[in-house]
Chain A
Amino acid sequence: MGNVTITIDGQKVTVPQDYYIIQAAKEIGIDIPALCYDPNLEVAGACRLCLVEVEGWRKLETSCSTKVREGMVIYTESERVVNMRKEILQLLLDNHPNDCLTCQKAGECLLQQYAYRYDVKFREHDGARRPNYVDTSSPYILKDDSKCILCGKCVRTCAQVHDRKVLAFAGRGFDTRIVADGDFTLEESSCVSCNRCVVVCPVGALVDRRLLGKTRVWDSQIKGVKCKACDYGCNFEVISKKGKNIAVRAKAPSQGRPLCLKGRLTTEFIYLDEPETPYKKVNGKFVEASWKEALELDGIFEKLVEEEKKGVGAE
Chain B
Amino acid sequence: MAEITINGKKYKVEDNITVLEACRKIGIDIPTLCYDDRLEPHAACRLCLVEIVGRGKLETSCSLKVRDGMIIETHSERVIRARKDILNLLFSNHPNDCLTCDKSGDCKLQDYCFEYGIEMGSYVGEKKNYPIDDSNPFYTYDPNKCILCGKCVRVCSELQCTDAIGLENRGFNTKVVTPFDMGLATSKCVSCGNCVAACPVGALMPKKKEKYRYWEINKVRTTCSYCGVGCQMELLVKGNKVVGVEPYKGKANNGLLCVKGRFAYSFINHPDRLKTPLIKKNGKFEEASWDEAYRLIVNKVKEIKGQYGPEAFAGLTSARCTNEENYLFQKLFRAVIGTNNVDHCARL
| A122 and B96 alpha carbons, distance in the complex (Å) | 9
Cα A160 to Cα B31 in complex, Å, equals 46
* A216 on interface, CB distance cutoff 8 Å: yes
Contact between B99 and A102 (Cβ–Cβ < 8 Å)? Answer: no
In the complex, what residues of B have CB within 8 A of residue A107's CB?
105, 213, 215
Closest residue to B98 on the A side, CB-wise?
A100
**Per-position 1/0 for B83-103, Cβ under 8 A of A:** 000000001000011111000
Q: Does A80 contact B (CB under 8 A)?
A: no
Q: Quick one: which of A99, A113, A117, A119 contacts B120, CB cutoff 8 A?
A: A99
**Are B119 and A119 in touch, CB under 8 angstroms?**
no
A116 and B211 contacting across the interface, CB-CB below 8 Å:
yes
- Asked if A106 is at the interface (CB within 8 A of a chain B CB), the reply is yes
User: Chain A interface: which of B68-76, B109-117, B146-154, B185-193?
Assistant: B109-117
Tell yes or no: B118 within 8 A of A by CB. Answer: yes
The residue in chain A whose Cβ has the minimal distance to the Cβ of B214 is A218
Determine the distance from Cα of A217 to Cα of B104 in the docked complex, in whole angstroms. 12
**Chain A 208-244: CB-based contact to B (< 8 A → 1; otherwise 0):** 0000010011110000000000000000000000000
Chain B, Cβ-Cβ closest to A122: B99
Interfacial chain A residues near B215, Cβ < 8 Å: 107, 217-218
Cβ of A101 under 8 Å from chain B = yes
Q: Across the interface, do B105 and A121 meet the contact criterion of CB distance under 8 Å?
A: no
Interchain CB contact under 8 A, B120 and A106 = no
**A-B Cβ contacts below 8 A, count:** 55
Residues of A contacting B117 in the complex (Cβ-Cβ under 8 angstroms): 102, 213
Check if A101 sits within 8 Å of B100, measured CB to CB.
no
Which A residues are CB-close (under 8 A) to B120? 99, 101
In whole angstroms, what is the CA distance A100 to B213 when docked? Answer: 13
**B interface: dominant SS:** loop
Give the one of A99, A119, A120 with max B CB within 10 A.
A99
Q: Is A98 an interface residue (CB 8 A)?
A: yes
- Contacts A116-B100, A216-B105, A218-B105 given: A101-B114 contact, CB under 8 Å? yes
Assess the A112–B105 pair: CB atoms within 8 A.
no
| Nearest A residue (CB) for B96 | A98
Q: Are A101 and B91 in touch, CB under 8 angstroms? A: yes
Task: Choose from B99, B104, B106, B118 the contact partner of A98 (Cβ within 8 Å).
Answer: B99
A100 — nearest CB in chain B belongs to which residue?
B98
Q: Contact check, B114 vs A112: say whether CB atoms are below 8 A apart.
A: no
A102 to B113 alpha-carbon distance, docked (Å): 7
**CB 8 Å contact bits of B101-145 with A (1 = contact, 0 = none):** 000111000110110011110000000000000000000000000
- Give complex CA distance A107, B216 in Å: 9
B150 to A: closest C-beta gap in Å:
23
Q: Could you tell me if A112 and B99 are in contact, using CB atoms closer than 8 angstroms?
A: yes
Q: Which residues of A contact B98 (CB under 8 A)?
A: 100-101, 106
- Assuming the A-B contacts A115-B100, A121-B97, A122-B96, are A101 and B113 also in contact, with contact meaning beta carbons closer than 8 angstroms in the complex? yes
Closest to B101 in A: A100
> In the complex, which residues of chain B have a beta carbon less than 8 angstroms from the beta carbon of A106?
98, 104
Residue interface mask B215-234, A partner, CB < 8 A = 1: 10000000000000000000
Which chain A residue has the least Cβ–Cβ distance from B105? A218
Q: Given the complex, which residues of B lie within 8 Å of A120, measured CB to CB?
A: 100
Whether A102 and B118, one on each chain, are in contact in the complex, defined by CB atoms closer than 8 angstroms, is yes
CB-based nearest A residue for B94:
A101
Contact A116 B91 (CB under 8 A): no
What mask results when residues 241 to 281 of chain B are scored 1 for a CB within 8 Å of chain A, else 0?
00000000000000000000000000000000000000000
A220 to chain B, nearest CB (A): 10
* Residues of A with C-beta under 8 A to B119: 99, 101-102
Expressed in whole angstroms, the Cα–Cα distance for A195 and B330 within the complex equals 62
Decide: A216 and B114 in contact? CB cutoff 8 A: yes
Over the window 24-41 of chain B, the binary record of Cβ atoms lying under 8 Å from chain A Cβ atoms (1 yes, 0 no) is 000000000000000000
Please, which residues of chain B bring their CB within 8 A of the CB of A213?
Answer: 114, 117
> How far does the alpha carbon of A121 sit from the alpha carbon of B117 in the complex, in Å?
23
* CB-contact partner of A119 in B100, B111, B114, B214, under 8 A: B100
Contact residues in B for A117 (Cβ distance below 8 Å): 211
B105 touches A115 (CB 8 A): no
Known: A99-B120, A101-B119, A122-B97. A116 touches B114 (CB 8 A): no
Tell me, in angstroms, the Cα distance from A93 to B99 when the chains sit together: 10
Which residue of B has the minimal Cβ distance to A116? B100
Cβ contacts A185-218/B at 8 Å (1 or 0 each): 0000000000000000000000000000100111
Cβ-defined partner of A101 (8 Å) among B96, B106, B213: B96
Per the bound structure, the CA–CA distance linking A98 and B99 in Å amounts to: 8
Collect the chain B residues with CB atoms within 8 Å of residue A93's CB: 99
Q: Which residues of B come within 8 Å of A, CB atoms? A: 91, 96-100, 104-106, 110-111, 113-114, 117-120, 211, 213-215
Closest 10 pairs (CB-CB, A-B): A218-B215, A100-B98, A218-B105, A107-B215, A100-B99, A101-B98, A102-B114, A116-B100, A102-B119, A98-B96
Pairs across A and B, CB under 8 Å, 11 listed: A93-B99, A98-B96, A99-B119, A100-B98, A101-B118, A106-B104, A115-B100, A121-B100, A213-B114, A216-B111, A218-B106
Known: A102-B114, A216-B111. 17 other contacts (CB 8 A): A98-B96, A99-B119, A100-B99, A101-B91, A101-B98, A101-B119, A107-B213, A107-B215, A113-B213, A115-B99, A115-B100, A117-B211, A121-B99, A213-B114, A216-B105, A217-B215, A218-B106
